[in-house]
């Protein structure tokens, strides 16, 4: 369909505007509770018609419960979304509806694996292939320090500093798991693959694209970071877009 559109534009002398999201793997970042971000993701998915969708929010077993073409209520029940801790499913459903034929993959890290990463290290928690994804090597000191500071700020400076290396390990594990599932999705479906995840995992400088590029350097990867009210997301992205912000409670109230 995209080739036909380009042909028609060329025949009739219309300008050909290439989408910035034409790639093998498209990583669409978000702030999880911003409905504007999910609306934008759904529009991009509808334009790309991907063969696969990879969700940070779904585990492998949850993804297997996907019912193509199901309505929002049916799909929410099938996923057991209500008890997942993620924002309201009504914000995510349009993404599924935008690509009803896409195969769905889950990349969520189970709690036992996260605990293992905290206790035994990220390479042990990831298991086979950890070296290929770079998990057997420590981060450079500057990045490690920056990541720990970001984790401390994300937890409202309310957690013991000695826990921050473990929190960084969990983040790396999630990045690598997203990369692994994106690669599997591409290998099984031929792409394009769209990954739905938070801005922190989508960033080019230390998110899942770093890990995916290590194991599949020939794949073309494009990332989107979404900000609010003129404030861009932290990190580097191929494309940065802005949406209105939303009213939200102070997240640090839970730590006081």
Q: Please write the tens of the pLDDT for every residue from 70-84.
A: 999 999 999 999 999
Q: Give pLDDT, residue 8.
A: 37
| pTM attached to this predicted model | 0.91
111: which residues sit within 8 A by CB, 6+ positions away? none
- Whether 53 maps to a domain, the answer reads yes
13 domain residue, yes or no: no
DSSP-assigned beta bridge partners for residue 225: 240
Q: Is residue 49 part of a domain?
A: yes
Half-sphere exposure for 234 (CA within 13 Å, toward CB)? 11
- Residue 221, strand partner residues: 25
Smallest CA-to-CA distance from 36 within 247, 255, 256, 253 is with 247
**Element (DSSP H or E) covering residue 106:** strand 103-106
Domain membership of residue 252 (yes or no) is no
Handedness of CA 208, 214, 219, 221 (dihedral sign): positive
Residue 1 lies in a domain: no
Q: Is the pLDDT assigned to residue 9 strictly greater than 60?
A: no
Burial class (CB in 10 A: 0-12, 13-18, 19+), 161: exposed
Residue 234 buriedness (CB in 10 A; 0-12 / 13-18 / 19+):
middle
**Residue 54 resides in a domain:** yes
The closest of 173, 243, 189 to 28, measured between CA atoms, is 243
For residue 229, the domain's CATH number is 3.40.50
Q: Which residues of 121-157 are buried (b: 16+ CB within 10 A; e: fewer)?
A: bbbebbeeebeebbbeeebeeeeeebbbebbbeebee
- Residue 117 belongs to domain spanning: 23-245
The answer as to whether 16 is a domain residue is: no
Q: How does pLDDT run across 109-129, given as a tens digit for each residue?
A: 999 999 999 899 999 999 999
pLDDT at 11 over 60: no
CA 249, 251, 255, 256 torsion-angle sign: negative
Query: Which residue, among 67, 66, 44, has the nearest Cα to 55 in the 3D structure?
Result: 66
Number of compact structural domains in the chain: 1
Structure confidence at residue 17 as a pLDDT band (50, 70, 90):
low
pLDDT digits (tens, 9 = 90+) for 152-210: 998 899 889 999 999 999 999 999 999 999 999 999 999 999 999 999 999 999 999 99
Quick check: is 174 in a domain?
Answer: yes
């Amino acid at each position: 369909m995209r080739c036909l559109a380009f042909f028609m534009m060329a025949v009739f002398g219309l300008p050909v505007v290439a989408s910035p999201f034409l790639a093998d793997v498209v990583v669409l970042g978000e702030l999880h509770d911003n409905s504007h971000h999910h609306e934008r993701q759904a529009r991009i998915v509808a334009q790309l018609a991907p063969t696969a969708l990879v969700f940070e929010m779904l585990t492998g077993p949850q993804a297997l419960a996907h019912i193509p073409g199901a309505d929002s209520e049916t799909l929410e029940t099938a996923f057991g979304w209500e008890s997942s801790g993620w924002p309201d499913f009504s914000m995510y459903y349009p993404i599924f509806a935008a690509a009803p034929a896409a195969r769905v993959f889950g990349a969520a890290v189970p709690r036992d694996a996260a605990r293992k990463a905290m206790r035994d290290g990220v390479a042990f928690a990831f298991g086979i292939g950890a070296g290929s994804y770079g998990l057997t090597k420590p981060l450079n000191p500057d990045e490690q320090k920056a990541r720990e500071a970001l984790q401390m700020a994300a937890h409202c400076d309310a957690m013991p500093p000695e826990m921050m290396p473990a929190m960084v390990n969990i983040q790396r594990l999630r990045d690598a798991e997203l990369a692994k599932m994106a690669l599997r999705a591409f290998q099984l479906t031929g792409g394009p693959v769209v990954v739905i995840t938070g801005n922190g995992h989508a960033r080019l400088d230390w998110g899942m694209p770093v890990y995916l590029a290590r194991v599949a350097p020939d794949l073309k990867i494009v990332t989107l970071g979404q900000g609010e009210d003129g404030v861009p997301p932290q990190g580097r992205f191929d494309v940065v877009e802005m949406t209105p912000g939303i009213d939200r409670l102070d997240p640090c109230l839970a730590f006081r």
